[in-house]
Amino acid sequence: MKLNRLYLLAAIIFVLAVLLRFLYIDTIPNNLTMDEVNNGYTAYSLLKTGHDEWGNFLPFSFRSVGDYKPPILIYLTVPSIALFGLNEFSVRFPVALASLFSLLFTLLLSKKFLFAKQPLWFHLFVLFLFATSPWHIIFSRSGYEAVVALLFFLINILLLLQFIKEKRPILLALAITFAFLSVFTYHSYKVFTPLMNLLVIFVYRQTLLEHFKHVFGTSRLHCSYLAVLGLLIFLSWFLITQYLTGPGATRASMVFISSDYEYKVALIDKLLKYDFHHYQYLFFPLFWFKRYLDYFSPNFYLYSGLELTQPGHIGSGVTGFAVFSLFVTGLYALLFNKGKLLIRQPIRTILLGWLFIGFLPASLANNIQQPLRALAALPAILFIAALGLLHLFQSLRNRFHLIVIAVFLTTLFVFDYVRFADHYLIHYPYDLAEGRHYGWKQIYQYLEPIKDNYHQIYVDQRYGHTGRTTYSVPYLYFLFYSQYDPLVFQQDPRRKQHDANFDQFIFGDIDWQSQDLGKNNLFVASPWSFTIYQGPILHTVYFPDGVPALHIIEGPK
């Protein structure tokens, strides 16, 4: 009876996970990011023509707006659009579905390998932490490749550990395949996945060496592993030629830490100014190490990590107070009381390695505490937090003390989830609408029924109320929401000149000093742009907080 209740609890947790990831997924968050509309329209183009919007046939990396996106999520979005049409739900569905499968494989990894000796309630607590993790939820509800890459990595590690246990070549081949799928899906995993696989291999090196010594004496197994080696060589060659060199490496080079503003301006420029440029190679590792340590700062976990509020305002951390308290407790127990936890040394090494390697790719990029790039560390943090609860249960024998701890943790969990809901549902859509490029959908919806009444519609891609340095990609929003025929767009002569213009829409910076205003034209731009030219305002789109986002103004009659 008790076991049946635990399985019922597992079902309830899974249903909760489904609701948290799929409920109102088409409207929360309240608009698609430019990456989401790009992925959606590119997948739509592949579905209709077999080519991307630039006319490339089934490419291995997608040019997009010059950052050459990884291919996996875009190809996964194709069947979603075929089933549900081109809309918000179809773009977000593959990532949300991948996040649910991540829960399943996290549970399998916990129960079969990492914590096989622990009771069932422990694994259900791991499942609960993952199902309700704000860090995982916010990225699962938008089209982020990192969520899909994490799923592939979890499958990769599960298969690798299964291979170490059963010694079947097919398991190793599958583990290698999913490892490369994670690398092909999101840039951070080019660093994280190889290092984690090498760590697992190192931890179980003795077992693997004994197995492969035996393999060389068995011809049939020997041939099987030669095939696996061939697969590894082929996928490695494909990775190097497609994603570590050439266009596929463009994004990684754009966001590497050496291009960070603080590093280039606040540090290197001052070294050059005072003729200390000889020391710049010494300061680079110090600058990186500071960035790496930022991911272990409490504010990342408690106040600011999810970036749901404006800079300088207290927001939500990636874990919240309850999970962070358990994480610190679990980390202490893992380091100093591992015997009581029944954790074998190999598993202890894997967990600690997972934690410290998980933040490495994010620390090498040009942002402070970027939660999306650090998502790979999430499972390790939740595993360690679950160990923290186990440690408390083992340490506190007094029933009264256990009740006090249970009430305290429950209160913290409730506080964390209420605070997260407040920031995610109220502050985030209002305070950071500009960062999600809010307004272009509403602009197109207004223009769509009247666009044929005008000769040209000029759309300024400089965006928002912060000034001329913020750029958007309005043409992608217009293509997406008009479901514009991809074949017509690909064959437009202007496309050969790398223009994004189509029909009567012209996208680019509007220079009012030289702009031919003409007759029967419309102009779409941010409010600050119209301080130079002031015509009759036909329509205004406002940010959710009431600040004007974009004006539509008619040219002179």
The H helix count followed by the E strand count for the chain is: 25, 5
| 316: helix, strand or coil | coil
State the pLDDT at residue 436.
Answer: 85
Residue type (1 letter), 200: V
Q: Which residue has 């990396």 as its token pair?
A: 61
User: Count of residues for the chain?
Assistant: 557
Neighbour-count burial for 377-403, b at 16+ CB within 10 Å, e otherwise: bbbbbbbbbbbbbbbbeeeeeeeeeee
Q: Which residue has 């049946």 as its token pair?
A: 4
Measured CA to CA, the distance from residue 487 to residue 481 in angstroms comes to 16
E strand map for 40-144: none
Q: Rounded to two decimals, what is the model's pTM?
A: 0.92
Residue type (1 letter), 291: R
Strand partners, 548: 542
Measured CA to CA, the distance from residue 439 to residue 474 in angstroms comes to 9
Angstrom CA distances, 325 to 400, 407, 475, stand at 20, 14, 46
Hey, how many other C-beta atoms are within 10 angstroms of the C-beta on 465?
13
State the pLDDT at residue 93.
Answer: 97
Q: Where are the alpha helices (DSSP H) in 204-320?
A: 205-215, 219-239, 250-255, 261, 269-273, 280-294, 298-302
State the pLDDT at residue 325.
Answer: 96
Q: Which two tokens stand for residue 268?
A: 């290197």
State the pLDDT at residue 533.
Answer: 66
Identify the DSSP state of 368.
S
Measured CA to CA, the distance from residue 388 to residue 400 in angstroms comes to 19
Identify the DSSP state of 523.
E
Identify the DSSP state of 556.
P
| 180: helix, strand or coil | helix
Sheet holding 548-554, edge to edge: 505-507, 456-459, 521-525, 548-554, 537-542
Contact 334, 347 (CB under 8 A): no
Identify the DSSP state of 246.
G
State the pLDDT at residue 1.
Answer: 44
Angstrom CA distances, 338 to 124, 288, 323, 397, stand at 21, 31, 20, 18
Residues contacting 320, CB < 8 A, separation 6+: 134, 301, 302, 412, 413, 415, 416, 417, 419, 420
Please give the chain's pLDDT, 557 residues, in tens. Answer: 466 777 888 899 999 999 999 999 999 998 999 999 999 999 999 999 999 988 889 998 888 776 788 899 999 999 999 999 999 999 999 999 999 999 999 999 999 999 988 989 999 999 999 999 999 999 999 989 999 999 999 999 999 999 999 989 999 999 999 999 999 999 899 999 999 999 999 999 999 988 888 777 665 667 788 888 898 888 888 888 877 776 666 666 666 766 666 666 656 655 666 655 555 666 677 778 888 999 999 999 998 889 888 877 788 899 999 999 999 999 999 988 766 677 888 999 999 999 999 999 999 887 788 899 999 999 999 999 999 999 988 888 788 888 888 899 999 999 999 999 999 999 898 888 888 889 999 999 999 999 988 888 999 888 877 656 677 889 999 999 999 999 999 988 887 777 788 989 999 888 777 776 767 888 998 888 776 666 788 899 999 888 888 999 887 65
Residue type (1 letter), 28: I
Q: Could you give the maximum distance between any two Cα atoms of the chain, in Å? A: 88
State the pLDDT at residue 174.
Answer: 96
State the pLDDT at residue 42.
Answer: 95
State the pLDDT at residue 272.
Answer: 60
CA atoms within 13 A on the CB side of 302: 12
Angle (nearest 5°) at CA 488 between 81 and 41: 25
State the pLDDT at residue 244.
Answer: 73
